[in-house]
Every structure is written in structure tokens, then in C-alpha cells.
Amino acid sequence: MPKIKENMDQMKEAYQLWGERIHTQKTILQELRTRYGRQAVSSRTISRWIKEFNSASFNESEQDKKYEWRSLNKYEIPWQDGKLANYLNSEYYHQTGHMATGRQVKWLWRAWHSSEGANLTPRDDIKHFWTNLIKQADGEAEKEQNNTFHYYFNLKRRTNEDGNES
């Protein structure tokens, strides 16, 4: 059986760059070469990956872009919690220095409601609470993204390759 993916880390990074919708195949390759040097994948590989990325569910790929309030329904967050989602997004940035993706805000929102956060006011500044909440949400968002990633790109490829071998 052929190898499914040898460069999974590079593929994930290319997917994140692609998801920002500002990177071309050329700029993705440049970013990967900067980070991985001679171990970076080829332009042809990136071209093939982009075709796979384009075949992924639109709703899934939208969640891996930077959070946008207007996309609450894509993140499965009710509109009445839009203000809370915006607050969680800004707090994520304040705590980490990075902009959150829609998927991360979705998991922050879920973690908030399943924790003592639901009893806190937005003015409560509890560093330990935020550190744990963000860690939990990032972990869940990464698990969900990995499951989606493996479903759309690994399993799909394995199925296609198995079908072509017979």
C-alpha cells in the first residue's frame, strides 16, 4: 500500500496558509521553504494539496479562517451569544497575542458554558481561569481540526488509491 502522507506537518501548515485566502501556491511554497528548508515539499505537491483542500467541505474550511462575527452560524454559535463570542475572541487575542480561528472561538464558547466562566462577568480578570479555558479550547479545536483533516485528506486519498489499485 502506498504511503498516505509523508509530510503531514507541511500539509497542515499549507492548509492553514491556504485557509487565510491571501496566499498563492507560490507564497505557500516560499513559507514552507523558509520553515523546512531543503525538506520542503515541491511546487507540484502543493498544487495537488490545494486541489484536495478545494474539495473539502466549505463549512469545515470556513471554521479554520480567522473568526468573524458574521459567521456565527458556521461555528454553531447562536446569534444571541454573539456578544459573548466577540468577547471570547478578544480575550483570546489578549491572552495569546494571536487572532483566533472560528473553530477556536467555537470551542472557547463551548468551554465557557461548561465551566465556571458562565458565572463570571466580562470584567473578571482571572489569568489562571483564562489560561485553562484557552488551553482546553485550543486542544478541542485541534482535535476537531485533525479529525476533519484526516477525514477529508487521508481517508479520502486512501479510498481513492485503494480503488485505483484493484
Residues 25 and 81 in one domain: no
Sign of CA dihedral 79, 75, 104, 65: negative
The answer on 74 and 37 residing in a single domain is: no
Euclidean distance between CA atoms 161 and 4, whole angstroms: 9
Residue 30 lies in a domain: yes
CA-wise closest residue to 106 among 132, 137, 134: 137
The predicted pLDDT at position 121 comes to 60
Last residue of a domain, one of 20, 35, 55: 55
Do 70 and 30 have their domain in common? no
> What stretches in the chain show pLDDT beneath 50?
1-4, 157-166
In this structure, what CATH number is given to the domain that contains residue 28? 1.10.10
- Assess if residue 156 is contained within a domain: no
My answer on whether 8 and 78 are in the same domain is: no
**37 and 71 assigned to the same domain:** no
Same domain, 88 and 121: yes
Identify the pLDDT of residue 85: 95
Q: What is the pLDDT of residues 37-81, one digit of tens each?
A: 999 999 999 999 888 888 877 777 788 888 999 999 999 999 999
**Within this chain, do residues 26 and 7 fall inside the same structural domain, yes or no?**
yes
The answer as to whether 164 is a domain residue is: no
Residues 67 and 135 in one domain: yes
Q: How many domains does the chain have?
A: 2
Task: Give a yes or no: residue 127 inside a domain.
Answer: yes
Q: What is the pLDDT of residue 164?
A: 47
Residue 76's domain comprises 63-144
pLDDT score at 154: 66
DSSP 49-93: HHHHHHHS-HHHHHHTSBP-GGGGGGGT--GGGHHHHHHHHHHHH
**Residue 45 confidence (pLDDT):** 92
